[in-house]
Structure 1
Amino acid sequence: METNKLTADTAKLTADTTADRNTTTGPAPFDDPRTREALDKAQNGFKLYGALGATALLAVVAVAGSGHPVNTFMWVRAALLPLIAVLLHRMTVSASRGSRRSFERVSSVAVVMPIAIVGVDLIPGVCPFWYAVVQTVCMLPVVRIAFLTRSSALRAAFPRTR
């Protein structure tokens, strides 16, 4: 009799523990409106970055067309950065579908890229001051994305794994 009661209590405790483990207290991470909003803002940030990058390319074209000197560095960077924006936007879309790897890449690039772009532009003689200013303005949406990817909503949606 004592053994039956112990077995019944153990079964009830196991069922209660399993039920607690299988229930969630809130919405799934990607159903959370804060998560959706942060990922949408990141996608829009890369769209804005791409548009600003395309505008910077047009500025280089206009300056070169007016007869002012434009070096190879400016041409290459002005052409590549809008293309990179497309790739980063696609990675952000992939992250919004649940790809942790894409999220980690976007998060890392959003921190490193503005530092690298502005840092190189500040090297004397690499590019004229106006170009450094244009590139800095282009990086502002990326800086915002760096902060967004570190928000509590996205940290909850993409918890760190060991």
Structure 2
Amino acid sequence: MTTKTNTRPEALKALAPARLSIALYGALSGAVLLAVIAVAATGHTVNTFMWVRAVLLPVIAYVLLRLTAAAAAGSRRAFERVSTLAVIMPVAIIGVDLIPGVCPPWYAAAQALCVLPVIRVAFLTRGAALKAAFPKAG
């Protein structure tokens, strides 16, 4: 069940940059997928981790866009999910990439660049307009 609130114009305005940031994250993730394809096509080593992550992250961008659209329509639950994922994703992505031997440095750097817009979403979803539009339940 989706919890709806009366979204305020300032909340919709605050969600617009979040949508843009998530779209940028999706575009950057797509570029990394193309880079992985190019590297593999030129005969260089691309491990399974790189393939899985390169395919999965653009899919997650789509899911985040859908959740953000639901939040803009007033879904508190969708807003909470976007807000939570925007904090967890950068930590998880960068943290795993820092494990020695998991991926080459160029790939880790590309992934870190991809999550910069998601970090912006984490800050945006904690702003005053969105906190007012989606007050804590309880």
TM-score, length of structure 1 as denominator length: 0.80
Q: Counterparts of 1:31 and 1:84 in 2: how far apart (Å)?
A: 27
The answer to whether the 8 A contact 1:38-1:154 is kept is: yes
State the aligned residue count: 134
User: Which runs of at least 4 in structure 1 moved beyond 6 Å after TM superposition?
Assistant: none
Specify every segment of 5 or more residues in structure 2 that has no aligned partner in the other structure, as ranges.
Answer: none
**One-letter amino acid of the counterpart of residue 90, structure 2:** P
Q: Which moved more, 1:88-97 or 1:36-45?
A: 36-45
Is 1:35 the counterpart of 2:11? The answer is yes
Tell me by how many angstroms 1:67 deviates: 1.1
**One-letter amino acid of the counterpart of residue 82, structure 2:** V
Matches within 5 A, 1:12-27: none
Larger RCO (CA within 8 A; separation ≥ 6): 2
Tell me by how many angstroms 1:161 deviates: 1.1
Q: Counterparts of 1:114 and 1:97 in 2: how far apart (Å)?
A: 26
CA RMSD of the aligned region, Å? 1.2
Q: Counterparts of 1:37 and 1:97 in 2: how far apart (Å)?
A: 12
The answer to whether the 8 A contact 2:6-2:74 is kept is: no
Q: Counterparts of 2:100 and 2:51 in 1: how far apart (Å)?
A: 18
TM-score, length of structure 2 as denominator length: 0.94
Q: Counterparts of 2:13 and 2:27 in 1: how far apart (Å)?
A: 21
Residue equivalent to 2:124: 148
Specify every segment of 5 or more residues in structure 1 that has no aligned partner in the other structure, as ranges.
Answer: 1-27
Residue equivalent to 2:31: 55
Tell me by how many angstroms 1:69 deviates: 0.5
SS of corresponding position for 1:103: helix
Q: Counterparts of 1:99 and 1:29 in 2: how far apart (Å)?
A: 9
The one-character-per-residue Cα deviations of 1:118-146 (angstroms, maximum 9, x if unpaired) are 00000000000000000000000000000
Residue 105 (structure 1) aligned to one of 63, 81, 86 = 81
Residue equivalent to 1:128: 104
Residue 80 (structure 1) aligned to one of 56, 70, 81 = 56
Sequence identity of aligned pairs in percent? 60
